[in-house]
Chain A
Amino acid sequence: MNLLVALFKSSLGKKYVMALSGAVLVLFVIAHLLGNLQMFLGPEAINKYAAFLKASPEVLWGARSGLLLMVGLHLFSAALLLRENSDARQAEYEKKDLVAASFASRTMIASGIILFSFVVFHLLHYTALQIDPSFAEMHDAQGRHDVYRMVVSGFSHWWVSGFYILSMGLLCLHLSHGASAMFQSLGLKNERNRCFIDGAAKTLGLVLFIGYSSIPLAVLLKVVK
């Protein structure tokens, strides 16, 4: 208990929480992308995969609550840090040079908030099936939920695909900084590996952007139909 209080009391403790919850979420987006890319293998592959994920409610809800907890911790410590950081400079400079601070590092809060609103929409859209109730009626020949048809139907609306691709751009931006900053926050960076970690984070962001965006683009271009 003392450790928990100390964690949220100190500025470094909150950064550890940011880094660790962020790390779990990064691993999730990588795994989620690998699953999603099965869209290119056709209906059988993705529908089977979706049925497999939902086979055990205990595992499914265990994973879901774990992820929700990570999102909660990430947002909670971000909010605490934001308040402390804005208190730390009450008077702004009239003239400010950005010196070395990258666009991504300066906009983590903004990209994070937009990404969170995307996640809410995305869950309502494809998980809770609230945006388009006809998704719930889609079943394939084996009686499984027809995820393939649902994704194609969802992404054929240009605004859904547009918001999705935009959000993936922001995910790329957020991770190009966040995925490297978490190593710094956990004390894993040093003079020897910092260039590699910075480069790897940017590459990861770009790979995730290309991977995720390829699905709505393929639907819009009728490559996947």
Chain B
Amino acid sequence: MNITLRVWRQKSRHETGHFEEYEAHDLNPNMSFLEMLDVVNEQLTKAGKQPIAFDHDCREGICGMCSCVINGEPHGPENKVATCQTYLRSFKDGDTITVEPFRAAGFPLVKDLVVDRSAFDRIMQAGGFISVNTGNAPDANAIPVGKEIADQAMDAAQCIGCGACVAACKNASAMLFVAAKVSHLNLLPQGQPEKSKRALAMVNQMDEEGFGACTVTGSCEAVCPKGISLSFISKLNRDYLGAMLFR
């Protein structure tokens, strides 16, 4: 199949960017979106041009490294998949596909489609952990966890931190990410001692990084490659309110 790509090219944060058009011919519909970019980059390199910079790593939908807003939707048109698992068969032969970087003040652009998502790392450093004394691994099942709670915590823990929620939100809010990370630990018994501290610290760091507030549009949940539920944001609001009033 043949595709016309309109890709955002920007040399660095401080230079102005623009769209460039590339024709990609004879593509296999079963190629992933990233493999298609690889093919285009090979052509560009052969022609002596700068290849398109884009983020990628595991290419199996679990690392959260790939990004891109494809035709106006983070991670492309399919539900609950990342860009690396978006295949060309999701598009039609002859389509023009617009590819842009995630756009948010909290994710400053590095180059082309690559943005700096280290704000998420700093949010994690603020409280996305539990403090334990080192030593031998504790016995399995020493701390009982109810099935329902364990399931919910696992649902939250599915977040791969890709930032699609920020990219899709009209306010570039990171609430879904922070909610998933806070809930994952705050639901489990191991997370209880630092529950309030965690909610306060991670939300305050989120605010400092320049992300917006949640307007509950639900866009984040809809584009999340892991289907993290909006209900976790409600839980974060509850945990933060409790921490603010009673801590």
Residue of B103, B212, B216 touching A91 (CB-CB under 8 A): B103
Residue of A10, A100, A189 touching B207 (CB-CB under 8 A): A10
The answer to whether B105 and A97 have CB atoms under 8 Å apart is no
Q: Does B238 contact A (CB under 8 A)?
A: yes
Contacts A10-B204, A88-B171, A89-B105 given; does A97 touch B215 at CB 8 Å: no
B203, B212, B240: most-surrounded residue (chain A CB, <10 A): B212
The closest CB in chain B to the CB of A178 belongs to B216
Q: Does B217 contact A (CB under 8 A)?
A: yes
Interface string of A1-36 (1 = CB under 8 A from B): 001001101111111100000000000000000000
Majority secondary structure of chain B interface residues (helix, strand, loop or mixed) = mixed
The answer to whether A93 and B100 have CB atoms under 8 Å apart is yes
The answer to whether A12 and B237 have CB atoms under 8 Å apart is yes
The answer to whether B240 and A88 have CB atoms under 8 Å apart is no
Q: Does B219 contact A (CB under 8 A)?
A: yes
Q: What is the interface size of chain A, counting residues whose CB is below 8 A from a CB of the partner?
A: 46
Chain A residues lying within 8 Å of B212, measured Cβ to Cβ, are 11, 81, 84-85, 87-89
Chain A residues lying within 8 Å of B238, measured Cβ to Cβ, are 186-188
- Determine how close the nearest CB of chain B comes to the CB of A207; give it in whole angstroms: 21
The answer to whether A95 and B98 have CB atoms under 8 Å apart is yes
The closest CB in chain A to the CB of B19 belongs to A94
- Determine how close the nearest CB of chain B comes to the CB of A20; give it in whole angstroms: 11
- Determine how close the nearest CB of chain A comes to the CB of B103; give it in whole angstroms: 5
Chain B residues lying within 8 Å of A13, measured Cβ to Cβ, are 244
Chain A residues lying within 8 Å of B203, measured Cβ to Cβ, are 10-12
The closest CB in chain B to the CB of A100 belongs to B222
The answer to whether B217 and A106 have CB atoms under 8 Å apart is yes
Chain B residues lying within 8 Å of A96, measured Cβ to Cβ, are 72
The answer to whether B216 and A105 have CB atoms under 8 Å apart is yes
Within 8 A of B (CB), among A72-120: 81, 84-85, 87-102, 105-106, 108
The answer to whether A187 and B206 have CB atoms under 8 Å apart is no
The answer to whether B72 and A95 have CB atoms under 8 Å apart is yes
User: Which size class do B's interface residues fall under?
Assistant: 35 or more
The answer to whether A100 and B221 have CB atoms under 8 Å apart is yes
Chain B residues lying within 8 Å of A58, measured Cβ to Cβ, are none
Contacts A12-B240, A105-B217, A181-B216 given; does A99 touch B73 at CB 8 Å: yes
Interface string of A48-83 (1 = CB under 8 A from B): 000000000000000000000000000000000100
Chain B residues lying within 8 Å of A180, measured Cβ to Cβ, are 216
The answer to whether B210 and A100 have CB atoms under 8 Å apart is no
- Determine how close the nearest CB of chain A comes to the CB of B127; give it in whole angstroms: 14
Chain B residues lying within 8 Å of A10, measured Cβ to Cβ, are 203-204, 207, 240, 244
Q: Does B192 contact A (CB under 8 A)?
A: no
Interface string of B148-182 (1 = CB under 8 A from A): 00000000000000000000101111000000000
CA distance A13 to B245 in the complex (A): 11
Chain B residues lying within 8 Å of A188, measured Cβ to Cβ, are 234, 238
Q: Does A213 contact B (CB under 8 A)?
A: no
Chain A to chain B contacts (Cβ below 8 Å), 24 pairs: A3-B244, A10-B203, A12-B236, A12-B237, A14-B213, A85-B173, A87-B105, A88-B212, A89-B212, A90-B105, A91-B103, A93-B69, A95-B69, A95-B100, A99-B168, A99-B222, A100-B218, A101-B170, A102-B217, A177-B216, A186-B237, A187-B234, A187-B237, A194-B231
